[in-house]
Amino acid sequence: MPEYSRTDATLPSVFARLAVNQARTARVVTIVFHPDPRRIGERWLVPERSSRALVLGRQQPLFSPAAEGDARPLDDPHVSRQALSLAFNAAGVTIAPLPSACRCRVDGSWVSAAQTLDHAALRRGIALQLAHSVVLLLREQTMPPASAPETSAGAALCGSSFYMQSLRQQIARVADSGLDVLIRGETGSGKELVARALHAHSERRSGPLVAVNMAAIPPGVAPAALFGSVRGAFTGADRNTRGYFQQADGGSLFLDEVGDTSDDVQPQLLRALQEREVQPVGGKLEKVDVRVISATDAALDGQDSNFRSALRHRLGSAEVQVAPLRTHPEDIGELLCHFLNQACAETGRPPPLAEPGADELRVAQWAELFHLCLRHEWPGNVRELANCARQVLLDSDAGIQPPALLLQQSAAAVAEEYPHTDQPAPVELGDAALRALLEQEGYQVAAAARRAGISRQALYRRLPELGLRLAAQVPEAELQRALADSGGDIRAAAMLLRVSTVALRGRLRNRPRDPDAGGGA
């Protein structure tokens, strides 16, 4: 046996605890809609340890863009200086309207008293609307590690959330690795965009990117389609053909819907991946230099899957998980803007969103659309949102019309909020917006009420608040002066009096003729 010195000492052991996720969480308020579309996506990081209630309003807090830029308040004149207070506590967050504040909505409901929402709601996201013009999202997000660098990889992937920043950083790391990549995610979540970003930021970017939908290839022709064929290999093969693997030589091959690969093709695909060689139908083995990027929304693991485990793990030398849109709703505002502008470019229309200082009613309509989109679940993810944007643009000639699905959701929310009344839900249009709308409609109450989405009775009740009146309420002397000033033009007189031309003409028609009255009827 070996001899040990009495002076030998046992060194102390070191134990390590590995953290599953070193990134910390933060509460973030994101601008989902603003009258200035350039501000959509800006955010405010809520202070972590605040012993007092925090205030949301016109001049506080300061919102910063994800990229470098100056922090600015909301600075919208329709938003009160102090609109909502946020008090975080053990139960979650208590949100309360402040005295004399503009109308505000919390998760779709107009609020008149404080309400507490739990931590689950914070993680899911709480929609906030201030006045008719600003839509925000309060949500607890996972922040990327402070050491994570900014990257331009995946710049085509729109969104400024911490999740999108992390996804772009992951794309940059995986793209540089050169490994085959398996992209997982729900249908419509943007897997093909991730695949294109991986190729564009890899060393193979100068080579081809060949995209193949595996679900669209019939099993009988899959070997020839993937690996090529030689002349005479089968009936109709009158020439040599290159398969997708050969076409992607020197670049990347994107196998979309790879989970739908037929059982017969899976062994051949596995060999091609392992050996980096393919055998054209009727031909000899050929070496190929290709990186394989695959994507699926199918469950490849588990007893119910008929996908070969060896192929599954060979495809996934590296994996990228694309999250569904409902888990990062703070990106909905930027994505909707992007898809609206994209649809405009496709159809040659001008950009649809309101510019700063635009018609207040139009701003209110856009805010309502973005608010509806924020509260939708989006089972079809980003693809469904893109389709929604196209539909809105197609219907924009008749005003801003949300797709039927969003309107049904809104009606259900209203019915839940007002179950015992037939009265319409309150519409947040300020006095200035309603005055502008009535002027556009020639002070015709019925037409203005239809555009505002409220009842005529509700608008009639608001006329005194707006400093307006009906034609029947105009004093006779004032009416005579207006007719005289307008040279007897009833339409011009109605505009001077700010009343309906139709109603004024009816009053003049039904009154007794006064030969001494100036002006004509």
Domain that holds residue 383: 327-431
**Looking at residue 519, what is its pLDDT?**
40
Domains in the chain, number: 4
Q: What is the CATH number of the domain that holds 111?
A: 2.60.200.20
Query: Do 398 and 294 sit in the same domain of this protein?
Result: no
Query: Do 268 and 167 sit in the same domain of this protein?
Result: yes
Is residue 1 a part of any domain in this protein?
no
Domain boundary residue, one of 399, 415, 431: 431
Is residue 384 a part of any domain in this protein?
yes
Query: Do 410 and 471 sit in the same domain of this protein?
Result: no
Q: What is the CATH number of the domain that holds 366?
A: 1.10.8
Query: Do 170 and 317 sit in the same domain of this protein?
Result: yes
CA distance 458 to 106: 23
DSSP letter at 256 equals E
Instruction: Return averaged pLDDT per consecutive 10 residues of the chain, 521 residues in all.
Output: 66 77 82 94 88 90 86 94 94 93 90 92 95 95 72 77 92 92 94 95 94 89 86 69 92 94 90 90 88 92 81 92 95 95 85 69 87 91 92 75 66 46 48 74 79 74 84 86 85 86 81 49 30
**Looking at residue 354, what is its pLDDT?**
61
Give just the sign of the alpha carbon dihedral 143, 61, 357, 436: positive
Is residue 151 a part of any domain in this protein?
no
Query: Do 193 and 122 sit in the same domain of this protein?
Result: no
**Looking at residue 167, what is its pLDDT?**
93
Query: Do 171 and 261 sit in the same domain of this protein?
Result: yes
Is residue 366 within 8 A of residue 353, CB to CB? The reply is yes
CA distance 253 to 508: 78
Is residue 517 a part of any domain in this protein?
no
**Looking at residue 518, what is its pLDDT?**
43
**Looking at residue 131, what is its pLDDT?**
92
Is residue 364 within 8 A of residue 105, CB to CB? The reply is no
CA distance 371 to 363: 12
Is residue 107 a part of any domain in this protein?
yes
β-bridge mates for residue 135, sequence order: 33, 129
Query: Do 132 and 166 sit in the same domain of this protein?
Result: no
Is residue 233 a part of any domain in this protein?
yes
Query: Do 427 and 440 sit in the same domain of this protein?
Result: no
How many other CB atoms sit within 10 Å of the CB of residue 52?
A: 8
Query: Do 42 and 104 sit in the same domain of this protein?
Result: yes
CA distances from 141 to 125, 330, 515 (A): 9, 10, 76
CA distance 386 to 344: 12
Q: Residue by residue, what is the 3-state secondary structure of 183-249?
A: EEECCCCCHHHHHHHHHHCCCCCCCCEEEEEHHHCCHHHHHHHHHCECCCCCCCCCCCECCHHHHCC
CB proximity list for 315: less than 8 A, separation 6 or greater: 180, 182, 255, 258, 273, 292, 294
Query: Do 455 and 396 sit in the same domain of this protein?
Result: no
Is residue 9 a part of any domain in this protein?
no
CA distances from 415 to 108, 392, 401, 410 (A): 12, 24, 20, 9
Calculate the CA 33 to chain-centre distance.
10
Query: Do 358 and 228 sit in the same domain of this protein?
Result: no
Query: Do 187 and 283 sit in the same domain of this protein?
Result: yes
Is residue 134 within 8 A of residue 31, CB to CB? The reply is yes
Is residue 154 a part of any domain in this protein?
no
Domain boundary residue, one of 285, 300, 322: 322
CB proximity list for 217: less than 8 A, separation 6 or greater: 225, 226
**Looking at residue 425, what is its pLDDT?**
44
Is residue 252 within 8 A of residue 210, CB to CB? The reply is yes
Domain boundary residue, one of 322, 346, 362: 322
CA distance 207 to 27: 43
